[in-house]
Amino acid sequence: MKSKRTRLDRFISTQAGINRKDVKPLLARGRIMVDGTVARDIQQVIHQFTHVIMDEQVLQAHTPYYFMMNKPQGVVSATNDRQHPTVIELMKNQDRIDLHIAGRLDFNSSGLLLLTNDGRWSRNLFTPESKVPKRYRVTVEKPLTEDYIRAFAKGMYFDYEGIITRPVKLDIVSEFIAEVSLVEGRYHQIKRMFGRFRNPVLKLHRVSVGSLLLDPTLKPGYYRALSELELKKLGANYQQAHTCFK
């Protein structure tokens, strides 16, 4: 993937069509503003959402967008699909631009889904190294026992990947319902872990990502922008969040 980060002098040279050596005098005269402040350092890093102005002309003013959706079953976590409806198609046209899905959910899974155009933010949330817990409510076909708690906490060997899963916290809610919290996102991980007990998963619903809870007022298929408080709790680096509701 092409990097969206560059030095200020390279950025100005490309956007304004001038030689890089001519950028430094512009800085000395205070003619370049970066995020509302007069820029002085030609090596300052410019990223996708840095606001840059030269001589009162806006060179870049991209806005980061952060949405939560209550994903329904039977919808694909993808931007396009030839066979099935996608989560992007559930959104208004003006909200779809350049969005990608952060932490996909399976076709038959439901619950909290995040959509954004900020790749750094989504990677920070969903890489195993970040250790951000994702919590799911799982309904299974056969009764649960204490053996599940111990086995999930110990981790399981996945032959296909050649790895042992990181410890997973499992709480038994009722005879057939458990809450599962994990920091990884291996392929069909939860279903495969219950599969070791030959216990099919009937429903899989994501209820939270880190401190962010699925808004209980959101009906399946509906979405909204994350609030300023929610973004701060998740550690988002943002300028402003889109506020359009479905």
**What pLDDT does 245 receive?**
33
| CA 174/CA 151 separation, integer angstroms | 18
Say yes or no to pLDDT of 101 above 80: yes
SS3 174: strand
The distance in angstroms from the start CA to the end CA of the chain is: 31
Query: What are the tens digits of pLDDT across the range 71-84?
Result: 999 999 988 888 89
Query: What are the tens digits of pLDDT across the range 128-147?
Result: 788 899 999 999 999 999 99
Confidence of residue 58 (pLDDT cuts 50, 70, 90): confident
Phi/psi of residue 146, nearest 5 degrees: -60, -25
Torsion of CA 160, 155, 141, 213, to 10 degrees: -110
| Mean pLDDT, residues 216-235 taken together | 92
| CA 134/CA 176 separation, integer angstroms | 20
Please check whether residue 71 is in contact with residue 109, taking contact to mean a CB–CB distance below 8 angstroms: yes
| Amino acid sitting at position 153 | A
Please check whether residue 39 is in contact with residue 50, taking contact to mean a CB–CB distance below 8 angstroms: no
Query: What are the tens digits of pLDDT across the range 181-191?
Result: 999 888 899 99
Query: What are the tens digits of pLDDT across the range 143-190?
Result: 999 999 999 999 999 988 889 999 999 999 999 999 999 998 888 999
Confidence of residue 3 (pLDDT cuts 50, 70, 90): low
Domains of the chain, earliest start first: 6-60 (3.10.290.10), 66-233 (3.30.2350.10)
| CA 64/CA 6 separation, integer angstroms | 18
Longest dimension (CA), the chain: 73
Q: Which residues neighbour 236 within 8 Å (Cβ) at sequence distance 6 or greater? A: 64, 66, 118, 121, 226
* Active-site annotation, residues: 106
